[in-house]
């Protein structure tokens, strides 16, 4: 796997509230740029392993694309992991949560590519890193604003 970007932020909200908001992927477009829409694709609850979503995103040079996202790991108030069926990038998002007090927490947001191909490393990943670093920096700040307002 290739790390595309990582951002850490302190949020003045309890870890439980932060986890609940961030793991409801139907709200992802409220705080993460480039997400045009996202909807549940099955009836499992948000934040549960096996939950699926259909996400419509804006992809540079390719326009709108629909991606199926699956929750791969969900450890309440600690970790949330999704993987997208979007070749050739094969994205993986990880959000780690850590309580820093009763009314505060730290969030670490990471994006990876599961494509370990040699060609992807030299063609796809540099552009993806540039775009996702910018989006993630904006997104993590918006997450903080949403949760603290």
Please count the helices (runs of H) and the strands (runs of E) in the chain: 4, 7
Q: What is the pLDDT of residues 96-141, one digit of tens each?
A: 999 999 999 999 999 999 988 766 666 777 888 888 999 999 999 9
- What CATH number has the domain bearing residue 88? 3.30.530.20
Least trusted range by pLDDT, from 38-52, 55-69, 94-108, 133-147: 55-69
Of 74, 4, 65, nearest to 45 by C-alpha is: 74
Q: What is the pLDDT of residues 83-93, one digit of tens each?
A: 999 888 899 99
pLDDT at position 127 is: 81
**Cβ(106)–Cβ(84) under 8 Å?**
no
Range of the domain at 88: 2-148
Number of domains in the chain: 1
Task: Report which of residues 24 and 124 the model is more confident about.
Answer: 24
Q: What is the pLDDT of residues 2-22, one digit of tens each?
A: 999 999 999 999 999 999 999
Helix, strand, or coil (residue 129):
helix
CA angle 19, 44, 110 (to 5 degrees): 40
End-to-end alpha carbon distance in the chain: 35
pLDDT at position 122 is: 64
What is the pTM for the complete model shown? 0.91
């Amino acid at each position: 796997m290739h790390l595309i970007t990582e951002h850490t932020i302190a949020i003045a909200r309890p870890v439980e509230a932060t986890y609940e908001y961030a793991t409801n992927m139907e709200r992802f477009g409220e705080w993460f740029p480039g997400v045009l829409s996202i909807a549940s694709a099955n009836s499992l609850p948000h934040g549960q392993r096996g939950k699926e979503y259909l996400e419509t995103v804006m992809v540079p040079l390719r326009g709108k694309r629909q991606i199926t996202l699956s929750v791969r790991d969900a450890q309440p108030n600690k970790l949330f992991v999704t993987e997208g069926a979007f070749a050739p990038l094969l994205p993986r998002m990880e959000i780690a949560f850590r309580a820093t007090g009763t009314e505060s927490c730290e969030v670490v947001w990471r994006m990876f590519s599961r494509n370990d191909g040699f060609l992807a490393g030299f063609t796809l990943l540099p552009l993806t890193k540039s775009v996702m670093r910018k989006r993630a920096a904006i997104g993590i700040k918006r997450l903080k604003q949403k949760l603290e307002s």
